Chains A and B, each alone.
Chain A
Amino acid sequence: DQQVKQNSPSLSVQEGRISILNCDYTNSMFDYFLWYKKYPAEGPTFLISISSIKDKNEDGRFTVFLNKSAKHLSLHIVPSQPGDSAVYFCAARGNAGGTSYGKLTFGQGTILTVHP
């Protein structure tokens, strides 16, 4: 079963505009959510995380929003730059009371393309 889902395989955005990447989850036993960026032939690079007790975390151009009631999180990139073009993965870490403790469960990824 896919506990973390990214339903949009791709997103295309104009440079300077906002990119919004979405992620849904089904397991209430996740305590942290993370976003990673991945270029071809490289490993994922950590971008930003959010604890399940918060609803927003911001770091420079990146902001993550968490809506626990909807089991939904989103990553906002403002302003978008051509160098942001990559595959973006959301991931969730299970808490100590669940079966996913310690490991990350990833979504399928969204390909972001930022056009100049």
Chain B
Amino acid sequence: DTGVSQDPRHKITKRGQNVTFRCDPISEHNRLYWYRQTLGQGPEFLTYFQNEAQLEKSRLLSDRFSAERPKGSFSTLEIQRTEQGDSAMYLCASSLTFQGARYGYTFGSGTRLTVV
């Protein structure tokens, strides 16, 4: 297994455009998480899935953000009508439900979004 994969690694977009990021978790992990990290801060929780069900969404996730995990495999995070404040590193992580905290959630390398 190659770990958690995120695509693309970098995205530059103009304000007002829509962007979509993809995350492929470790295949046997049933939980998938999205986080956002800005400069000088720790990762902030956005949302997470158990299999295909989205179980929790942060207040940070405005109605311009939507995430899906069809069939409980890969996940996509879409941002509509991007704003400059959306510029950040978007991180995806996966884990097993009952072992995640003990063995650590596995993070991908992230997608760096720059809105110009």
Contact = CB atoms under 8 A, between A and B. Distances in A.
Nearest to A46: B104
A32 interface: yes
* Size category of the binding interface on chain A: 20 to 34
Interface string A31-75: 110101000011111110101000000000000000000000000
What is the predominant secondary structure among interface residues of chain A facing chain B? strand
B109 A42 contact: yes
A25 interface: no
B43 A103 contact: no
A85 interface: no
6 contacts: A31-B101, A34-B105, A47-B104, A104-B105, A106-B44, A109-B41
Closest 4 CB pairs of A and B: A46-B104, A106-B42, A32-B101, A43-B107
